[in-house]
Structure formats: C-alpha cells, structure tokens
Structure 1
Amino acid sequence: MAFLTLGLFLCVLTTGQSIRLGLEHLSTVYLPYRYDNGDAKYKMGKGAAEQVGYDPVNKKVYSVGQPGLLNVIDVSDPRSITLLHYQELPQAGQVTYTDVEYCGGFVALTREHEHKGLPGHVLIYEAYRGTGDMQLVYQAPVGGSPDMLLFTSDCRKLIVANEGKDGGDGNGNFLNPEGSLNIIEFSSDDLPNSATIVKRTVNFRKFDASQDEYAARGVRWVYRGEPGSPNRLSEELEPEYVTLSKDETKAYVGLQENNAVIVVDLTTATAEELYPLGAKYWGDSGLDPSDKDGGIHIESWPIYGLYQPDTVKYVSAGGRELLITSNEGNTRELTVNGVDISDEWRGMDFVANNAIANNVPSLLRDALADETKLGVLRLSNYDGKSASDPTKYEAFYAFGGRGFSIWDAKNLTQIWDSGDQVERAHALYYPSIFNSEYKDEFLHDHPEDTMDETSKKKGPQSESLAVGEAFGKTVIVLGNERTSTLMVYTLDTHNPHAVPEFQTIHRHGRWDRKWDNAYADREVGDIDPEDIKFIPHEDSPDGHPMLLVAGSLSGTVTLYRVINTPL
C-alpha cells in the first residue's frame, strides 16, 4: 500500500522550495450519533460531527451533530483529546442541527424546522461549566433553513445565514421561502441579560426589480415557479456561507446554487450588490469527467465549470482585500406537487434529447455521446442554452470548480484559480483513492473500490476552507469532501502579487481496510471534512498553530499541528 498514512504524511507537488508546511496528526475523538438509555451508539454516515466551535481560553471544542447531540471536548492535551460532556438538544432526532459557534462564554447553534419550508431557530447556551448540562439562555426564530452562524469579534453581534430551502408546511403545501440573513445584536457581553436584544432581517427583494438582468448576467435562477404563479428571484437566492470584512462592517454571503455572492452592509442591515461568479473554462486546464474510462484521465475539454462555492473566506493579505472560495458545486433539485425538477443531465442526455445546437463542433458532440469521455458527466440543463433556440445547447457547464479561487473583494473579479491542481495532486499522491467517496452502501467495501466514482460528478468536491497565519505566511487549508483529503497552501502575506503555493496533501486514516473494519478499530480518518478551523499559535493548547477538523461521515473531531519542515 504505497501511500498508507497513520500519522504524519507530507508530500510536495512543487519544486524549488526550501521549506514546506504540512499537518501532523495529534489526536482524534469518535463521537456517537445518539444515546439509548445512556448507551452510546456509533455508526458511520450519521453526521455525528457536523460543525465545531473552539473556546481558546479554556481549550475546549464544542461539536454538534445533525441528529442533535452537543458534545464538549477537552483539547488541553492535544495528543489525547477527550469527550468531557454530551447532551441532547431540543427535538433531537426530529430536526437537523446545522452549525455551532463559541464566543465569549456562550455557545450558539442553528437548527432547521422539521418542515423545511418553515422558520428555523437559533439557540444560545452558556458554556460548559464542568458539571451538569449547559443551560439554554436565549432562543429566537430565524429564517427558513438556517445553515450557518457567525459572531463578530466582540461577540455582541450574531449573523445567521438562512438558506431558505424549499419544503412543505406539514399540511402538504409546498413552500419556497426567501433566503435571508438575520443579525442579532446584544447590548452587552452578557448576551441573554443584555438590556436590549435587537434582531434584524436582511432580505434580498431589492434584486427582484432587476431579476431578469441578474439572471442574464449569470445569477442562476433555476426554479421560476409554477405556470400562473411565477416566483421571484429573492425566493431562489440561497445563502450558504457568510464571512466578514476586516472591520466587520460588511458581510460577504456565498449563494452556492446561484453561483453568486451578495455583499451586505451590516450597519444598515441592507443588501448592497449581487455578483455572479461566472465559470471556469476546462479547455485551459483539465478534469477527469468519467468513471467509465478505465482510470485517471485528466484532460482538457471545451466545456465550463460553475464555481458554486460552499465556503467563502475574507482575507486581508499583501495590502489586498480578498475572498477565497472552495468551489464545491451543487445541483438544484426539488419536488413540486409530486413533480421532480432537476437542473442536471448527463452528457448523453443532451444527445438523446436532440438538444445540441448545430454550431457545436463534432468533436464535442461525439464526446457527449461517449461514456468514456463526457457522456456520463453531470452537466447543467439550465446554463448554456442557445439564444436563437432555447431548446438547444451550445455551451456545456459542469457543477463545481474542483478546487479553489481567489477574488478581489471590492468587485468580485477573479485574481487566481487552482485550475486542475487538486485533481492532479490526488492523481500523483493518492491514485488508489482518486475521486473516491463513502456512502452507506459502501460500508463493507474498501475505499479503493470506489476509485474514480465521483469523476462524473464533482470530482474531489472541494468544500471546506481554513485560513490563518503561520511562519510569516498566510496558510490556506482546503478540505475535499469526497476524498477526505486536506491540502495545504501558503500565500505570501507581504507580496501584493503573490498567488497560492501548494505545500502538501494529507489523508489521515487507513484505506487498505474495509470501511467498517477501519471504523471499528478507530482508523478510518476524517471522512467528509465538513468543517475545518485554523487555531493560531497564541490560542492553541501548546503554542503551535493547529487545525481542527470535523469529519461529518466518520463522526470524528481531530486536531492537527501545522508544522514547518525542511525539504
């Protein structure tokens, strides 16, 4: 097994560097997804560790699982982190919990309504005091499907991103609520006892007046409502992630399905502008678009990739204001009155539906008909339509950018993109699990059995990002959901023209064993690194910069040390 990793794994893609940054595995704790009369239940694929928050003073991690368990983990000894406390949250097992953050002695969480079309809630608890359950001190309704929350640095302002997923009301009625932000402001550090608590809502209705113009510029607006009852663009704008400017006066809101970013003025609680992100051209780099081609084949194709970022991070570096995005990709799927709606076709579907415009070159047309080329690649049936005949397609768009990008925060113009670096790094260092994935039906298989499986979808599916400072440089860590790998890059903080430099790629755990056996022996790794957080040296348990990772499908929380080693 050429690339088996149980602890430290370092490898370098670029040459000419005298040092490299990597990750040293320190400790992992496995979390249950529920308890039966005090008996902990463990299983892969249950979302037992969806998100994490870090208390830098008391060296504790708060982790929430989708089913509704809140865990407190002691990381004061980074080589032996331990579960201190757990408690079931309200409606555990009935609703989905989506995020957790710690700030100033309080822990905030978001949960969806059991009927996704209805408003969710934010809950705030007192931090763990060493005995007994944590106490709920504040609760408030927020928008539909709250997906993320974020405190300002003084802990007095809490921003909640409400994705506004479509769903029902429990009575069979279809609902497609607007996406929105909630800004909850507290007048003191003692949040629940503040003299005033003000909750404001930022909606995106201002963009409805120019909704056709925004759609023409590239903001994806797939579901337009039912005949005779059209919807508005604001009902389809779905906030996925929020990051704040350096002075915390602006929020940058990633809209994954819409392939766009909204800039929000937090002072006035108003949306300023909506920016489409466009697409990358796969003819300039390459991708592996098929799981039927007998292995790894990264090639250039005259098609496009929608960025559709999951994570968006604001960074001030080299005198520049930047946004860094992990370009995961996502399809738009919904069911309305029993009818399934999807914006996804395979390449072969365009051929079968006679939907290819006459001006499409024969080379591309033939590739779309060939399952070893573009025939099984998932492509958008919303984008790329011919202006002269909307039933035909003259350009073809895959979902996601299979990497990450850097943008100018002032106008959202792209500064840099990773091209095909992410897939090529996997091909070079982890070929046996290239574009592999875990699903429940694979529990008794080897990870290598699904090698190349996700090439036809979104490849490694770059999802999470952590950004911090170490060794005089900005460190960027990219988490890839399907391959469960972490890639380390650096950005020269002092050079205004610097671009990210690849350092190392890391995949903790065993993949020479079946998933269930590796999990049972606590050697499975961080499967689906849903949330990763950079811990600077001044806040870490031992004075070294660290990375905190939540593996959603493995139900793990892991601590890594960011290390600097000579070649």
Structure 2
Amino acid sequence: MNDSVKLGSKRTRATIAALAAVTACAATAFPASASVIATPVNYSAEDAALQLSAVGSYDTGIFDESAAEIVQFVPQSQRILTVNANAGVVEVLDASDPANPVKEFDISAAGTAAADGSVIPEGAVANSVAVRADGLGVVAVEAPDKTDRGWLLYVDANAAKPTILGAVRVGSLPDMVTITPNGATALVANEGEPAEDYSMDPEGSVAVVTLPKALTAKNQGFKGAISQAQVKIADFHAFENNLPDGVRIFGGREDATGVIPEFPVSENLEPEYITVTENGSKAYISVQEANAVAVLNVNSGVITDLLPLGTVDRMDIALDASDKDKSINVTTWPVEGFRMPDAIGSYKVSGKDYFVTANEGDSREWDGYSEVARVKDLGKDGLAPICDSVAAEVGLTVKQLREDAKLGRLNITTANGLNADGSCYEKLYTYGGRGFSIFDPNGNLVFESGTEFEEIIAEANPEYFNSNHTEASFDSRSDDKGPEPEGLAIGEIDGRTYAFTGLERVGGVMVYDITTPTDAKFVTYVNNRDFSVNAEELIDEGSDEAATVKAAGDLGPEGLDFVSATDSPTGQPLLVVGNEVSGSTSVFEITVN
C-alpha cells in the first residue's frame, strides 16, 4: 500500500496544522469488556474541551444484520432502549451501571390491537423509538410489506416488564419517531419507499399524533384515550405544482413503469428524520433522496416549506474519489455532491433556530429503477457520455478522467447533470457531503465541514483511511460516500453546544463545538474499533460470529443519543451509540478537560 497523503482543502490544512497535541490509536485503557476496545482511535484538537471514552457495551453477537440501530436513554428508569431491527423488537437494557448494560427484556409489537381495528402482525419491524419524560414510549413499527401502512406503538418505558399500552395507524414505512419538547405530540417520518418493482410507491408523509396527557397508574392502557382520530397526516400535495428549484424529483413510477401517478411529487418525497425546535412549534424533516428539508408547522400539522440543500462543489472542497489509486489523495475534482442528509438536529442561538445535517448521501437503486453509475460507465450501455468541458476543468481528456485512479470509480447519479439536448453530462453529481452542515431557519448554509472529516481520519488512522465497516480495509469507500456521516446528536455541556456525528463506514464519532453556528470547530474523534480484526473475513472463514464482533468493537454506528450530566447515572455526560453492523450498543463517558 502506498501510504502517501495529499490533503486538499485550505480550511482543513489550517485545522490539521493546529492539532499539535494528538493521540492516534491511543491507549485510553479500559478492560476489554463486551465491545469496549483497549486501544481505540483517539484524535483531538490541541485545545479540546472534551474527550470521549467507551466505558460499556451490550452485544447481541449478531454481525451485519441491523441488530442495534436507534437508541434512546430513559432517565427515570436508567434504561437504554435499542431498536433491534433484525429481531423486529426494542431491547430494554438496564444502564444504571453504564459500564455494564444488561438486557432486561424485549418489547414486541406483534399481536397488538390498534385503534383503527387492525392488529400488528408477526413480521412487523420496529424502526425507531422515543420516550417522553414521564416514561411514555412510542415505537415506529413498519408493516411486513413495507408499502403497507405502519403503526405507532405506545409502551411504558419505565415498567418492570413489557407493557404495551396500545397503537395507532400511521403512514407507509414509518422510519423515525420523535416527541415534541412539551410531550404533547409525536411526529413520525413515513418514508414511503417503493416496492422493488415499483408496482407500488406510497406517498411520503409525516404523522402528527396527539399523545395522552399523562402516563399514570390510573390511565395505563388508555381505555378510551387512544383514538385513530388523534392521528393527522401531513402530506406534500401542496408541492405538486409548486416545487422549489433544487428539490430533486426523479425516479418515480413514471420513470420505472410508465404509470403516471396522481401525486408524483408526493410519492417521490421520502421523509427520513425529524428534529423539533426548542419551543416545539416547528419541525425540520430531512427528505434525503430529494436533497431537501421539509418544514412542518407542528400546531397546524401542515408542511409549509421545502428547503433545497444545494451541493458541495468538489472543485472548491476536496475529496478522495478513488478506491484504486493506492493512496490517500484528497484533492479537487469536477463533481458536485448532493448533501442528502440522514439524521438532522436543531438548536437555538440568540433566539434563532438552526438545523444541523449529517450528510450521508443515498441513492435510488431498486429493481424497477436505478440512478447509480460510475463515472467510467458514462458513454457505455446507452448512457450519455461526459461532455469534454467537464474534463477540461482539471486539464484532462474525458478518457483520462474516466481512469480508475482518477474519477472513474466514483459513484454518481445518472438522473442529474445532462446538458439541454441530453447528448452528454455537463455536470457530475455524487452522493453525500462527507461531513456535516449547519443551516439557518430559512435553509441558508452558515457552516460546512467540507473536507475536514476525511482529512482528520487521514491523520488519525491513515492505514485504514475510508475503511468499510464490515471489513478493515484501506481506501475502500473513497469511491462511494467516504466516511458516510449518518447519525447525529446535539448536546450542551458547560454552556457550550456540541454536535456528535457517527461515521457509518470507517466508524467512530466526530465531535464539533457548534456554539457559534458560523464557526464550528473540531474537538475530538474517537473510534471504538479494533482494525486488526477483519470481521467479515473471519466470519467468512467460519469464526464464531459473537466472538468476532466482540473483538472488532463498534462497527457501523447508526443512532446516537446524548445524555446530560443531570440525567446520567454517573453524573457525567454520556453518549449512547447503536451500531448496526456489530450489533452493539455502546456507552461513552464524556469528560471535560
């Protein structure tokens, strides 16, 4: 392996130069218990105010089957609720000792009678969970056929045994649920993905659900208190003929099957994740594939705006675009990245709300329609070629640009970038921003991390730069979304606000001080992963799955939850992380330096 490093962005070269006091692959020693690694990757700014240390973990022992995804800490009962999509349940963990989370029981929705008369069947899948301050928990439950309508399950998260309180029907593929700060309303992102063959493509929507006012012994069971009438569906019909410029609408049933639906825009928009402003009046919803954020008026239950998120111009902000160049080559290319956030958070500064996006990127790639191609595929198999002007931007010919060691391996979309007559691609668009962004309430960009995640990882752990999650490798994800930021949590410590971003592929959590939205600063990066353990390879060779994932540490962080010092059982702030590939739920203690 050629381990030469080329670092491209001006802002990040200055940032990296300032990181004089760092510990890479440092021995922050904790006994190897469950998935806690003795020598995690630790890398910090010289003046880092915080450090994160993995202190405990609960393992399912299930590799690469989404056995630990979304996590929620419950302060009153000192529990962690972990969504195990593999088993279709929510696992309830006793976290009163964060160093030793212990499973208590599962919560399964199957067999629950809902307020609309339906019964949640076997095979229904828990996707997300949220808990109100009094212990009322709500679980987003997907139907066995994802194009059917799902449910919102009510549970008592403080009960000593599984206690299901009822359910209501929501939209198709309820992927995420959150509760407004006052506890009055649950909001459910109904993603509405199509069937593989596009025989069905449900509309995306947001369910606005009025919750019971209190969870008490007197009204447990909510007899007469749960009604389907408490569910209002906020749809996107107002945007059918009023779509803002920059919102991506493509690859619907018309493209896949020739069928023109009644509401093509509404079918195309797929809500992913929701954050609610501090006063609870407004919610921001990531609409990932559309590269947009929807704005919901919580009180009226109406989606009022769609905010396009724009692109990261890779002629200004560098990236490593090839997994075949045998080097870390973070440099500029004539390509733009749709931010396409997954998780989204919000916070208030000087009376003004800002929202934060983890710019994962995602593509439509179904049996009935796929937008995915590599740059070197353009000009083949019926795809239009690259316009000469694109390669000329970097002084190359199209043939040179399409080489594997240059831009040829990068995954791009065929749905955008054609010139006016459709004869060639005058712009190349790829998936994800490889970092995080901060926007003001109107969707104006105020901060972009740009190249920083890739360049920090290049410094912190160069041998496994842009590694995949299932196997420890060098540079294997550079051609496809890089570190792939996915999960996000925002928390306040000692009057400062921090963004914690989980990197799905290489792993770990990137921490930034976002107190000043226009000038967010890197604080620390920790990765509770042992790169000497190649999990996928060992399992392919017949090694014990549970022992392998335990040795490998955390793989594929998905959901993050910040726990304040006030709510923490130790009196120290915590970060809980669900890891979908290793199937582990890990607890990090946050120490103020």
With structure 2 as the length reference, what TM-score do the two structures score?
A: 0.84
SS at match of 1:520: helix
Asked whether the 8 Å contact 1:68–1:93 carries over to 2, the reply is: no
Structure 1 counterpart of 2:32? none
1:490 to 2:523 alignment: no
Give 1:513's match in structure 2, choosing from 510, 517, 533.
Answer: 533
1:370 to 403, 411, 419: 403
Taking the aligned partners of 1:69 and 1:333, their CA distance within structure 2 comes to 27
Q: Structure 1: which amino acid aligns with 2:372?
A: E
- State the alpha-carbon separation in 2 of the partners of residues 454 and 484 from structure 1: 12
Q: Does 1:238 pair with 2:274?
A: no
Q: Secondary structure at the match of 1:27?
A: strand
Using the alignment, how far apart are the partners of 2:521 and 2:24 within structure 1?
Answer: 25
2:435 aligned with 1:412, yes or no? no
Rounded Cα–Cα distance in structure 2 between residues aligned with 1:187 and 1:509: 42
**Residues 469 and 2 (structure 1), Cα distance of their counterparts in 2 relative to 1, 3 Å cut:** closer
Correspondence 1:100 to 2:132: no
Contact 2:533 2:551 in 1 (8 A): no
The DSSP-based 3-state class of the residue aligned with 1:48 is: coil
Counterpart in 2 of 1:58? 77
Q: Quick check: 1:290–1:371 contact (8 Å CA) kept in 2? A: yes
SS, match of residue 306 in structure 2: strand
Which letter does structure 2 place at the counterpart of 1:110?
A
2:212 and 2:43 map into 1 onto residues whose CA distance is 49
Could you say if the C-alpha distance between residues 77 and 205 of structure 1 is closer, same or farther in structure 2, counting changes exceeding 3 Å? same
Q: Tell me what 1:360 maps to.
A: 390
Secondary structure at 1:345 match in 2: strand
Corresponding letter in the other structure for 1:178 = E
Deviation per CA, 1:150-198: give whole Å up to 9, x if none.
1123333111110011117xxx981101000111103421375274641
Please name the residue that 1:44 is paired with.
Answer: 63
Residue 343 of structure 1 pairs with residue 375 of structure 2: no
Aligned pairs for 1:459-498 (under 5 A) are: 459-492=482-515, 495=516, 498=518
Q: Is the 8 A contact 1:348 1:376 kept in 2?
A: yes
* Whole-Å separation in 1 of the counterparts to 2:285 and 2:91: 28
Give the fraction of aligned pairs with identical amino acids, expressed as a percent: 29
Which residue in the other structure is 1:38 paired with?
A: none
SS class of match (1:167): coil
Question: What is residue 310 of structure 2 aligned with on the other side?
Answer: 278
The one-letter code sitting in structure 1 at the alignment partner of 2:211 is F
- What secondary structure, in the 3-state scheme, does the structure 1 residue paired with 2:242 have? helix
Check whether the contact 2:334–2:390 (CA below 8 A) recurs between aligned residues.
no
Structure with the higher fraction of residues in strand conformation: 1
Give the distance between the partners of 2:351 and 2:198, measured in 1 at CA.
51
Give the letter aligned to residue 21 of structure 1.
L
Q: Cα offset for 1:519? A: 5.0
Q: Once the two structures are superposed, what CA deviation does each residue of 1:306-327 show, in whole Å capped at 9, x if it has no partner?
A: 1000011111124432110000
Stretches of 4+ moved more than 4 A in 1? 7-15, 194-197, 516-519
> Which one-letter code corresponds to 1:475 in the other structure?
Y
The aligned residue for residue 453 of structure 2 is 422
Deviation of residue 468 (structure 1)?
Answer: 0.4
Of residues 169, 181, 185, the one that matches 2:206 is 181
Is 1:379 equivalent to 2:398 in the alignment? Answer: no
Q: Which residue type is aligned with residue 25 of structure 2?
A: F
Does residue 118 (structure 1) correspond to residue 148 (structure 2)? The answer is yes
Does the CA contact (< 8 Å) of 2:181 and 2:278 recur in 1? no
> For residues 48 and 205 of structure 1, do their structure 2 counterparts lie closer, same or farther at Cα, with a shift above 3 Å needed?
same
Note the 1:276-355 alignment, pairs <5 A. Answer: 276-336=308-368, 341-352=369-380, 353-355=383-385
- Secondary structure of the 2:49 match is strand
Change in Cα spacing, 1:397 to 1:420, as seen in structure 2 (3 Å) is same
Which amino acid in 1 is paired with 2:200?
A: L
Matching of residues 81-230 of structure 1 within 5 Å = 81-90=101-110, 94-103=123-132, 104-130=134-160, 132=161, 134-167=162-195, 174-190=199-215, 192-193=221-222, 195=225, 197=227, 198-211=230-243, 214=244, 216-223=245-252, 225=254, 226-227=257-258, 229-230=260-261
CA contact (8 A) 1:68 1:92 kept: no
2:279 pairs, out of 228, 237, 247, with: 247
- 1:502, distance to aligned residue in structure 2 (A): 0.6
Match of residue 75, structure 1, among 95, 98, 111: 95
Q: Which runs of 5+ in 2 are unaligned?
A: 1-22, 28-36, 111-119
Give the counterpart letter for 1:251 in structure 2.
A
Comparing 179-188 with 287-296, greater Cα deviation is found at 179-188
2: CA distance between counterparts of 1:498 and 1:237? 29
SS at match of 2:551: coil
| Whole-angstrom CA distance in 2 between matches of 1:92 and 1:69 | 13
Q: CA deviation at 1:564?
A: 2.0
Give per-residue Cα distances to partners, 1:505-560, cap 9 Å, x unaligned: 11113221232569506232221111001101111111111101111111111111
Distance verdict in 2 for CA 1:466–1:228, change over 3 Å: closer
Higher mean displacement: 297-306 or 513-522: 513-522
- Match in the other structure for 1:37: none
Secondary structure of 2:575 counterpart: strand
- The separation in 2 between residues aligned to 1:61 and 1:228, in whole angstroms, is 45
Deviation per CA, 1:359-417, whole angstroms, max 9, x where unpaired? 33432624431110100100111111212x124210111100000000012x1010010
After TM superposition, list the pairs within 5 Å mapping 1:435-474 onto structure 2. 435-439=466-470, 442=471, 447=472, 450-474=473-497
CA distance in 2, matches of 1:61, 1:393: 49
Cα distance, 1:21 vs structure 2: 1.3
Partner of 1:394: 426
Contact 1:159 1:184 in 2 (8 A): yes
What is the aligned residue count? 528
- How far the C-alpha of 1:85 sits from its partner, in A, is 2.1
Shift of 1:8: 7.0
Counterpart of 2:281 in structure 1: which amino acid?
T
**Residue identity in the other structure for 1:239:** P
The aligned amino acid for 1:250 is: K
Report the Cα offset of residue 43 of structure 1.
2.3
- CA-to-aligned-CA distance 1:19-58 (integer Å, 9 cap, x gap): 4311011111112xxxxxxxxxx32112111211221112
- Pairwise CA RMSD: 2.3
Q: Deviations over 1:400-457 (max 9, x none)?
A: 0000000012x10100100100001111111122111134xx5xxxx1xx22111111
Kindly indicate whether the alpha-carbon contact (under 8 Å) linking 2:26 and 2:39 is maintained by their aligned counterparts in 1. no
Contact (CA 8 Å) 1:164, 1:179: kept in 2 or not?
yes
Which is worse superposed, 503-512 or 79-88? Answer: 79-88
Q: Tell me the alpha carbon deviations over residues 324-353 of structure 1, each in whole angstroms, 9 at most, x when there is no partner.
A: 0000000012233xxxx1111101111434
Give 1:79's aligned amino acid. A
